[in-house]
């Protein structure tokens, strides 16, 4: 636990009572979570009520999630004769029925990560690279 600002954490969170068993269980769970990229943020995340996911740096979707969402979107798109990019499908250009390859698409947060959207399969959609990069923080 080197590198943590224990003094600042104490000053900020010492007035609230915590259940050590629950904190320990949550720490173990988050240490085992492959989505958590910043382990130094785990204690502050828990002490702060498990709200600020930015402390954990959970932003990038793993390959299994991308492939699963891609397969699901593509199957639905082919059944409707529409594009598997959700934004192309509602457009008026030549791409509205194009089926993009997985390599031509990016995983996108439906609810923006910067606004608290989770990095999980429920909040993932696949968009063509053009639409994903144009979308930005919306």
List, for residues 86-111, the tens digit of each pLDDT value: 999 998 888 999 999 999 999 999 98
Are both 82 and 127 inside the same structural domain? yes
Are both 91 and 39 inside the same structural domain? no
pLDDT band at 137 (very low <50, low <70, confident <90, very high): low
Are both 50 and 67 inside the same structural domain? no
| Alpha-carbon gap, residue 48 to 123, rounded angstroms | 23
Are both 51 and 67 inside the same structural domain? no
Domain coverage including residue 42: 6-56
Are both 81 and 103 inside the same structural domain? yes
| Average pLDDT for 57-80 | 91
Q: Which pLDDT value is given to residue 115? A: 78
Q: Where are the alpha helices (DSSP H) in the chain?
A: 6-13, 20-31, 42-47, 63-80, 86-89, 129-135
Q: Which pLDDT value is given to residue 121? A: 93
| Alpha-carbon gap, residue 37 to 46, rounded angstroms | 15
Q: Give the SS3 label for residue 125.
A: strand
Residue 128 has pLDDT above 80, yes or no: yes
Structural domain count of the chain:
2
* 1 within domain boundaries: no
Q: Give the SS3 label for residue 107.
A: strand
Per-residue pLDDT tens digits for 1-38: 678 898 999 999 999 999 999 999 999 988 888 778 88
Are both 74 and 96 inside the same structural domain? yes
Mean pLDDT, rounded, of the chain = 89
pTM of the model: 0.62
Are both 33 and 82 inside the same structural domain? no
Are both 32 and 84 inside the same structural domain? no
Q: What are the contacts of 42-51 at 24+ separation with CB within 8 A?
A: 43/1, 43/4, 43/9, 44/9, 47/9, 47/12, 47/13, 47/16, 47/18, 47/23, 48/13, 50/26, 51/116
Are both 129 and 77 inside the same structural domain? yes
Are both 110 and 67 inside the same structural domain? yes
């Amino acid at each position: 636990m080197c590198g943590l600002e224990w003094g600042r954490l104490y000053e900020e969170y010492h007035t609230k009572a915590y259940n050590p068993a629950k904190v320990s269980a949550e720490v173990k769970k988050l240490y085992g979570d492959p989505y958590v990229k910043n382990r130094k943020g785990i204690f502050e995340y828990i002490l702060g009520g498990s709200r600020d996911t930015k402390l954990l740096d959970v932003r990038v979707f793993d390959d299994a999630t991308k492939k699963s969402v891609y397969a699901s979107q593509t199957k639905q798109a082919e059944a409707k004769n529409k594009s598997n990019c959700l934004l192309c499908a509602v457009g008026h250009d030549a791409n509205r029925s194009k089926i993009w390859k997985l390599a031509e698409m990016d995983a996108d947060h439906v609810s923006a990560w910067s606004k608290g959207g989770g990095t999980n399969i429920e909040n993932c959609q696949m968009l063509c690279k053009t639409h994903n990069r144009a979308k930005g923080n919306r």
